[in-house]
């Protein structure tokens, strides 16, 4: 198949992060990055995932097999309707404060970070992500990837370490985050009128997650903006991200452009 080499090391966060770049004095471009923990091994080209599941037909009673029906046209189905109405966009320069108010009760999470009880548990910086191979949690957490990170009640403090990394690269004024799932965050941003000019979707890579995230993210994309995401080519082939991206583009008459492992979709200008 059209398989590219597996993506290199991933650095994923179970949160939504917002770099707010000031390209000009008057315009604050608002960039939304949606990412989450993703078991990197799903990205690795492994034949296991591509093996078809074979049923022993003789043992499966015909009565429990689904009847063959003609699939309705995609447009008739309602799982492609994401009906939450987004409120009018807040101005770019108010985006940060809107999130601070809504999520953090008006106080920057970077203020007095890290808390005293967390400070000794963090590394000054740890920017590295993880790759795609090997026995999963045991290796990731205990042996390989997080062996240098402290665990508290089963939590390897990834959010705190992410925050610490942002502090380390001196980006606290331009990056804000929401410590919620991608789906919940997108729903809320839509309700709050927080729109983006550039939105990256790099969260769940199964079809249903990607489908939902892309649709919800597109609703908060400003006209003329760009939505893009990683892992268009994975071992899930056309069953995961790629299927969701292609279906979305087809139903919305949009064109998918490729850039390495990334898919890119431009929204039409207003």
- Which residues make up the interface to ligand NAG (CB under 6 A)? 105-106
Q: Which is nearer to ligand NAG, 63 or 105 (CB)?
A: 105
Tell which residue, 224, 205, 214, 268, has the closest CA to residue 49: 205
CB of 188 to ligand NAG, least distance (A): 18
CB of 104 to ligand NAG, least distance (A): 9
Residue 32 forms beta bridges with which residues? 199
CB of 113 to ligand NAG, least distance (A): 16
Q: Which residue is nearest to ligand NAG (CB)?
A: 105
Q: Which is nearer to ligand NAG, 108 or 252 (CB)?
A: 108
CB of 95 to ligand NAG, least distance (A): 20
Q: Which is nearer to ligand NAG, 106 or 120 (CB)?
A: 106
Please state, in angstroms and rounded to a whole number, the distance separating the CA atoms of residues 243 and 190. Answer: 24
Q: What is the 3-state secondary structure (H, E, C) of 56-118?
A: CHHHCCHHHCCCCCCCCCHHHCCCCCCCCCCCCCCCHHHHHHHHHHHHHCCCCCCCCCCCCCC
CB of 106 to ligand NAG, least distance (A): 6
User: H/E element holding 9?
Assistant: none
Q: Which is nearer to ligand NAG, 97 or 257 (CB)?
A: 97
Q: Which is nearer to ligand NAG, 4 or 101 (CB)?
A: 101
Please state, in angstroms and rounded to a whole number, the distance separating the CA atoms of residues 261 and 2. Answer: 11
């Amino acid at each position: 198949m059209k398989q590219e080499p597996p993506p290199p090391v991933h650095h994923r966060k179970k949160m939504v992060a917002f770099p707010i770049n000031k390209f000009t004095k008057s315009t604050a471009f608002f960039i939304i990055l949606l990412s989450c923990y993703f078991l990197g091994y799903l990205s690795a080209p492994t034949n296991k995932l591509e093996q078809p599941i074979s049923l022993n037909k003789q043992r499966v009673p015909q009565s429990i097999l689904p009847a063959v029906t003609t699939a309705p046209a995609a447009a008739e189905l309602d799982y492609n309707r994401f009906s939450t109405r987004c409120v009018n966009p807040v101005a770019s320069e108010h985006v940060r404060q809107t999130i601070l108010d809504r999520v953090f009760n008006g106080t920057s999470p970077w203020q007095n970070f890290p808390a005293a009880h967390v400070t000794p548990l963090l590394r000054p910086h740890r920017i590295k992500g993880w790759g795609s191979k090997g026995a999963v949690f045991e290796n990731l957490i205990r042996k390989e990837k997080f062996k240098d990170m402290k665990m508290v009640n089963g939590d390897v403090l990834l959010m705190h370490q992410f925050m610490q990394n942002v502090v380390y690269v001196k980006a606290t004024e331009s990056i804000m985050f929401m410590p919620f799932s991608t789906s919940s965050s997108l729903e809320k941003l839509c309700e709050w009128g927080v729109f983006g000019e550039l939105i990256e979707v790099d969260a769940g890579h199964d079809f249903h997650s990607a489908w939902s995230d892309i649709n919800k993210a597109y609703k908060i994309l400003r006209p003329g903006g760009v939505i893009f995401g990683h892992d268009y080519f994975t071992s899930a082939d056309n069953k995961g991200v790629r299927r969701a991206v292609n279906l979305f583009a087809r139903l919305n008459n949009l064109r998918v452009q490729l850039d390495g492992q990334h898919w890119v979709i431009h929204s039409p200008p207003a």
